[in-house]
């Protein structure tokens, strides 16, 4: 997982209190609750975080690498390694 970006967020005390209440009711930290709500808002707008796309690309790259480097049993040298 990529390192998370740290930043200062100034909130109205009333909003902070509500975030604490909501986070506690969903068994999350306030930080995790804010991240959850931001991801949910992005998803509602059809925006997917790049992390998921990056993970799919990485998986595809690994699979391609394995297909190229590791011969299949029916290929020449497939079982001799």
* Per-residue pLDDT tens over the stretch 50-79: 665 666 666 677 767 666 666 666 666 655
Instruction: Judge whether 30 and 23 are in contact, CB under 8 Å.
Output: yes
* Per-residue pLDDT tens over the stretch 25-54: 999 999 888 888 888 888 888 877 666 566
Measured CA to CA, the distance from residue 11 to residue 8 in angstroms comes to 10
Average pLDDT, the chain: 76
> Per-domain residue ranges for the chain?
13-69
Query: DSSP string of 15-40?
Result: HHHHHHHHHHHTT--HHHHHHHHHHH
- Residue 76 to residues 53, 64, 65, 66, Cα–Cα distance (Å): 35, 18, 18, 16
Instruction: List the structure tokens of 11.
Output: 């909130």
């Amino acid at each position: 997982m990529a390192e998370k970006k740290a930043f200062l967020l100034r909130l109205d005390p009333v909003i902070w209190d509500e975030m604490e209440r909501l986070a506690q009711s969903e068994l999350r930290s306030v930080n995790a609750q804010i991240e959850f709500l931001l991801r949910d808002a992005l998803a509602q707008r059809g925006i997917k975080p790049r992390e998921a796309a990056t993970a799919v690309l990485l998986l595809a790259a690994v699979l391609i690498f394995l297909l190229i480097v590791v011969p299949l049993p029916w290929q020449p040298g497939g079982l001799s390694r």
